[in-house]
Structure 1
Amino acid sequence: MAQTPSDFLRLVIGKQVHVKLNSNVDYKGILVCLDGYMNLVLENTEEYVNGQLKNKYGDAFVRGNNVLYISATSTSQT
C-alpha cells in the first residue's frame, strides 16, 4: 500500500493510469516514467475530450505543470 504520493507513483510505473489535465483533457495509457517535475511518458495512449475518444498515440509526453491528477486504472477501463 502506498504511504505517500511518491510511493504511489513508483507503484504505478509500468501500469495503466488515467491522467487528468487542467484543460479537462484525459489521457489513458501505460506510465513508462516520470521525473521530479511530474513530466510523464505514456505508452499506448488514448486521448479523451469530454469523455469522447479523440486520438490514439503510441507514445505521449505530458508536461507536469498541466497534470491535475494521476489515478491507477485497470486495463478493462480503457
Structure 2
Amino acid sequence: MASSTGAQKPKDFLKQILGRPVLVKLNSGSDYRGVLSCLDGHMNIALEQTEEYCEGQLKNKYGDCFLRGNNVLYISTQKTQRRAQ
C-alpha cells in the first residue's frame, strides 16, 4: 500500500533539481554550493558556479567542479538566491 505523505524517490528528486542551485555536503564536513549540471548512477556530481565552504566560511570559488559520489553525504536544494557576481 502506497503512503500518501508526499514522499518521493531519490531518483525523482535528483531529476527535479538538475539545473538548480544545490548544497552538497561531503563526508569530510565541507560544503559545495553551486548549480547541479549533471550526475550519474554512482552519484558523481558536476556543479557549475561552485563555491567551497569549510566550517561555514567561503574557502574557494570554482567555475566547474566534479565531486566523486563516494564522498557525498547528502544533496539538498538551496533555499536562498545567491548574489549575482
Aligned match of 2:56:
51
Runs (4 or more) in structure 1 with deviation over 6 Å come to none
Separation in 1 of the partners of 2:48 and 2:58?
16
Tell which has more relative contact order, 1 or 2 (C-alpha 8 A, sep 6+): 1
Query: How many percent identity over aligned positions?
Result: 63
Q: Larger radius of gyration, structure 1 or 2?
A: 2
- CA offsets, 1:16-55, max 9 Å, x none? 0000000000000000000000000000000000100000
**Whole-angstrom distance in 1 between the partners of 2:58 and 2:82:** 13
Determine the structure 2 residue equivalent to 1:37.
42
User: 1:8 maps to which residue?
Assistant: 13
Structure 1: gaps of 5 or more residues? none
TM superposition score normalised by structure 1: 0.93
Q: What RMSD over aligned residues (CA atoms) do the two structures have, in Å?
A: 1.6
How many residues align structurally?
78
Q: Which one has the bigger strand percentage?
A: 1
Q: CA deviation at 1:76?
A: 2.1
